[in-house]
Homo-oligomer: A and B are copies of this chain.
Amino acid sequence: MTVYAAPVDDMRFLLHEVFDVSTALAGLPGLPEVDADLMDAVLGEAAKVCEGAVFPANAVGDREGATLTDAGVVMPAAFHDAYRQWADGAWTGIALDPAYDGQGLPRVVDFLVTEMVCGASLAFSILPGLTRGAWRAIAAHASEDLKRRWLPKMATGAWTGAMALTEPQCGTDLGLLRTRAEPAADGDGWRLTGTKMFISAADHDLTDNVVHLVLARLPDAPPGTRGISLFLVPKMLPDGRRNGWSVGSLEDKMGLHASPTCVVNYDGALGWLVGEPHRGLPAMFTMMNDERLFVGIQGIGAAECAWQSAAAYAAERLQGRAPGGPVRPDLPADPIVHHPDVARMIDTARATTEGGRALAAWVAIQLDRAEHLPPGPGRAAAEDLVALLTPVVKAAGTDFAFEACVAAQQVLGGHGYVRDWGVEQLVRDVRVTQIYEGTNGIQALDLVGRKLLPDGGRLPQRLFDLVRADLPGMPADLREPVARVLAASERVVETLQAGLSPTAAAEAATDILRLFALLSYGWMWGRMAAAAERGDGALHAAKRKTARVFARRVLPEAETLTARIAAAAA
């Protein structure tokens, strides 16, 4: 059976002992003063909802699935109760702007709470995940009138959000999209017509309304990506009528059965323009960047549940004897956790998960700084680092998560393949996180082409400076391998800056992203190991041990990556 205990102590360790978050966020203009006790209390309350309400709905939700009826999408019964508790706590909006009914907590707290809900149920997490992203895009680009009308109920979770980009002929390449918008003869908005697919949570019966952000072309739109506009298209119109769109079908997917993935037919649906005409794609990217970070966190949450479940199984399952001799001679066999090959799988999954959590939390602190600092060098640095690390959090978070879930399944042996035990659901559910919100290959191309190359490599240089500054404080068994990965990463950026052909760069992109993941996760482990040396609790000992696992088992991947990158560049 899967188990999930929200890793609240690990999160508090990160916030206070590794990042000293109170100091890092102190005095940011517009960010309410939040002391450590309040943050800790919020994490504790979130853990209760996620463990007590969301996690129990996950397996039954997968069994029942979302279904399409004449009245629209019906969600699994268990999700109704879980969502009610979630909305009662208004958890969706804890880090949204209080001007529109958010609660104004730092992003870093939201990231950690989000990881909990993802660990409890990936399918459930999509509801608040998309709502927050849509909220931010509306808040950043829509008129004040639209904001006042739509944001408050999304912030409380009374309504949810969705984004409608993909069409049958266009996924990654949005320039090919065809959905069109024409001025509404009968109102102040636009009438949208077209078919969108792969729309998560486009419809459901958990809330009274669902707010779509839809990409479409105005009548005078130029072709390609410079002719796309963004529209807010709700399910229920302000006058209480049902809007002109319907769900054509639900995709039958490998996993995430409790998350409806809809084909949506817009038949003259009424919508309102968000932002400037033809500038929909940059506006949508406000949401996409938010979602990419969210999807990385989905991976981290699922991986946490996976390794915890594998560890629980391995502590109970008795098979054979440890290679160094019986550990539990009182039992007919040793628990399999004492087999080094089993421990290796669990420990590695834990090391990549905790590294991912640290990086995501660190990025969230930069988001808080980017959002609240006045224009200037500090804000520019934070913005650069968020931009650089967003594809890393997304792709590495989900790639490592898939590996962790598959490893957890392997620990359970045959039971890992059987549905009753739940770990196979994690594998099926987490798999799509490597695909949606831009495949991980697209993340790699984004990193290489848009983040490492421009302006002489200004963005990666910022990361290199930070890692280099922290090297002296790291324990030796982390410092040396992290320094090697740093040097390798610097060489890669030099190669790119020296004019590597676009084809070679594209061939090497996925390996380059993984190298930057090793660098940034290794950096985080160096900082965590340093903080752990200052404490003497069981948690500190576990961190020191897991840091060594990361150094011994994960960082050596850099050797292969650099060889492959060199081969592509040659």
Contact = CB atoms under 8 A, between A and B. Distances in A.
Interface string A552-563: 110011111001
Interface stretch (A85-93, A292-300, A377-385, A410-418): A410-418
A341 B564 contact: no
A27 interface: no
Q: Interface extent on A, as a size class?
A: 35 or more
Nearest to A438: B413
A177 to B, nearest CB: 11
A428 B552 contact: no
Contacts of A435: 409-410, 413-414, 416-417
Interface stretch (A98-106, A168-176, A264-272): A168-176
Contacts of A420: 252
A417 B431 contact: yes
A426 to B, nearest CB: 11
Nearest to A564: B556
Interface string A537-559: 00000000000000011001111
A306 to B, nearest CB: 14
Interface string A243-260: 000000001111100000
A444 B342 CA distance: 12
A477 to B, nearest CB: 10
A194 to B, nearest CB: 17
A322 B504 CA distance: 11
B436 A414 contact: yes
A432 interface: yes
A181 to B, nearest CB: 21
Contacts of A409: 431, 435
Which 4 A-B residue pairs are closest in the complex by CB-CB distance?
A559-B559, A556-B563, A323-B502, A340-B507
Interface of A: 166, 169-173, 175-176, 197-198, 251-255, 318-320, 322-324, 332-333, 339-345, 402, 406, 409-410, 413-414, 416-420, 424, 427-428, 431-432, 434-436, 439-441, 444-445, 501-507, 509-510, 552-553, 556-560, 563-564, 567-568
20 contacts: A170-B319, A172-B319, A173-B318, A173-B319, A176-B318, A197-B414, A198-B414, A252-B420, A253-B418, A254-B427, A339-B506, A341-B441, A410-B439, A417-B435, A553-B564, A553-B567, A556-B560, A556-B563, A559-B559, A559-B560
Given A171-B413, A323-B503, A324-B503, 9 more contacts: A171-B319, A172-B413, A176-B332, A252-B420, A253-B417, A253-B424, A322-B503, A323-B506, A553-B564
